[in-house]
Amino acid sequence: MPFILDDRLELHMGPSSLGAPDDLEKVIVDFIDQAKSSLDVAAQEIESRPIAEALVRARQRGLRIRLVLEQDYLREARPPADPFAVGGAVEENRNLFAAMLRAGIDARADYNPDIFHQKFIIRDSGGTRRALLTGSTNFTPTGTGNHGSRKNLNHLVVVHNQWICNEYDDEFAEIWQGTFGKVRNRHEPSPRKNKVSGICVRALFAPDHAPEMEIMKQILKAKERVDFAIFTFAKSSGIDDTLVAMARGGIKIRGIFDAGQGNRDWAATRMVADGGGEAYLASRRNGLGKLHHKLMVIDGALLICGSFNYTDPANRLNDENILVIGDLEDEDPLAQAAQRRFAAFALAEIDRMIDAHGVAVPLSG
């Protein structure tokens, strides 16, 4: 079961096929099926037929739907000799894209020469039932963990709050107009603090807001511990240096990395382990494909989540989003209790992943 706070703030962890509590594909489909007037979708790719079918159903109900996808998942890296022949690595993406176009969905491919890495949906813009869905989950069979032999670990957050939706509305408008990635013709306001069920929630977008700096800032506030689960974590990020400095200062640092990414020479895994932290690699056993989370919990009270990997390109070039849920400096006891309950759900999943899939990284030498 997900963690839901006052029907305003939801946290879903999946997939259930790997022992996590939630069916992420169903969460996305249900979110779409509950739409009444509009859906704005910014996604790296759509390869899940149930999700595409939900969008088509919404369009057939008369909803306005706008969709932006990463074009690299619609074209072949090397054009085939016969481009009219059916087939290729991303054929299912193209088939679903064509079906959505035939249904009358207004769809575009991104203009960012780097990676369009967003994964969010805004529901019912301008209405009273507005909601946002975002997280680390790609809208694919492996991303949601519902199909195939390999299943990825991911999370989704649903926020029912007009101010958060307004900020994502603005981001989507910029994406829709093509002014994103390296194309910058505007000034971005600083992220605002929004209260959702008493908890501070802030949205940040890369490269506009440089989320890396925000993550480092929050780590530096830690008084006890930092726990994380991350797909890609590069030594170039700056986050690794911050974690090592905090470990040397007595703060407990513990994290689990995806094995495929965490074993690379450029990865921060070894640096965290040798710097005084506990580092684990997520073994590809029991059907696990990738540990695809981008989760961090600080002092058991603040959660950082979203699409943002801890890399330099993600910070400077890619289109990304994160949510910072909680405020370590909030002195309101009710807010402290609420944000601790919310963060505890994410921390429990990090604990579970380490127990079920983690292989400890030994110290060098």
Could you give phi then psi for residue 175, rounded to 5 degrees?
-60, -45
Fold of the domain built from segment(s) 194-360 = Endonuclease; Chain A (3.30.870)
Does residue 189 register a pLDDT over 50?
A: yes
Answer yes or no: is pLDDT of 43 > 60: yes
Give the mean model confidence (pLDDT) for residues 178-197: 67
Average pLDDT of the segment spanning 27-46: 95
Name the average pLDDT for the chain: 90
Tell me which of 45 and 223 has the higher pLDDT: 223
Per-residue pLDDT, 80 = 76
DSSP calls for 28-39: HHHHHHT-SSEE
What average pLDDT does this structure show over 167-183? 78
In this prediction, residue 82 carries a pLDDT of 77
The tokens describing 114, both together, are 């780097």
Cα 243 to Cα 248: distance, rounded to the nearest angstrom? 9
Domain boundaries, the chain: 3-177, 194-360
Are 126 and 173 in contact by the 8 Å Cβ rule? The answer is no
The 10 Å Cβ neighbour count of residue 84 is 5
- pLDDT for residue 210 is more than 50: yes
Domains 3-177 and 194-360 share a fold: yes
Could you please state the CATH topology (level 3) that the domain comprising 3-177 is classified under: Endonuclease; Chain A (3.30.870)
Comparing CA positions, the residue from 311, 280, 309 lying closest to residue 293 is: 309
Please report, in angstroms and rounded to a whole number, the separation of the first and last CA atoms in the chain: 43
Q: pLDDT tens digit string along 52-109?
A: 999 999 999 999 999 998 877 666 677 777 777 777 777 788 889 899 999 999 998 8
For the ranges 1-15, 87-101, 207-221, 334-348, which has the lowest average pLDDT?
87-101
H/E element, 349: helix 333-357
The rounded distance, in Å, linking the Cα atoms of 194 and 266 is 36
Q: What is the pLDDT of residue 188?
A: 60
Q: 275-331: per-residue pLDDT in tens? A: 999 999 999 877 899 999 999 999 999 999 999 999 888 888 888 899 999 999 999
CA atoms of 271 and 274, how far apart (whole Å):
5
The residue type found at 152 is: N
Nearest Cα to Cα of residue 192 among 204, 184, 180: 204
Can you tell me the distance from the alpha carbon of 204 to that of 321, in angstroms, rounded to the nearest whole number?
A: 6
CA distance 239 to 105: 40
In the predicted structure, residue 186 carries a pLDDT above the cut 50: no
The C-alpha atoms of residue 334 and residue 330 are separated, in whole angstroms, by 10
